Amino acid sequence: MSKPIKTVEELDAVLHWRRKHALAIKERDALQHRLTAADEREDAAIALVTRLIECAGGQPSIATGYLRDILDALKPEDGVDAHDATKDLSCYFGLTYASWLTLPRVLMESMPDEWKRSMATLLNQYEDAYQNQPSYGTTVRVTVDGKMVRTPEWLINYRHPDRSMINQVRGLSG
């Protein structure tokens, strides 16, 4: 439970934090929209340049040379992956001021065994890399639409998971 706000300064601090958080979310969404539009323009440019090269009928010329240079600049080299946001840890924090990444144990325990072994390996590597961590603790607060709520029982009870809720979160029926 959060402590009650007792002063105007505390209220101002809470309101300031909420405005900053809302602004960060808007900035993230706007950036995502611009990135999507840029990806679409890049795809259109690649298609256009490819079509122009095809129209040249394979005839070498200064123009087709330039077009191939443009195409090379637009396309990643063979064997070189373009940036993949799904493999970028910082994307999980977005453009927010988040300092922690928390994952519900009940959902992690419901993952396939191979995933759990991989996750345990990564967590062990993390611990090995930071052997002198301070013994800080953390508290998780569950929120819905920015308001603190009681943690749902199905998220707490990892020993007896509610399979129907887990399937619902996964987007599966039943």
Phi-psi label, residue 146: left if phi above 0, alpha if psi -120 to 50, beta otherwise: left
3-state DSSP of 13-63:
HHHHHHHHHHHHHHHHHHHHHHHHHHHHHHHHHHHHHHHHHHHCCCCCCHH
Reported as a single tens digit per residue, the pLDDT across 50-90 is 888 777 776 667 777 778 788 878 876 665 556 666 667 77
pLDDT at 54: 78
pLDDT at 147: 92
Task: Provide CB contacts within 8 A for 92, sequence distance 6+.
Answer: 101
pLDDT at 115: 92
pLDDT (mean) for 39-60: 79
pLDDT at 162: 93
What type of residue sits at position 96? T
Residue with tokens 């602004």: 23
Q: What does the alpha-carbon distance between residue 108 and residue 56 come to, in Å, rounded to a whole number? A: 55
Is residue 121 a contact partner of residue 113, using CB atoms and an 8 Å limit? no
Is residue 95 a contact partner of residue 28, using CB atoms and an 8 Å limit? yes
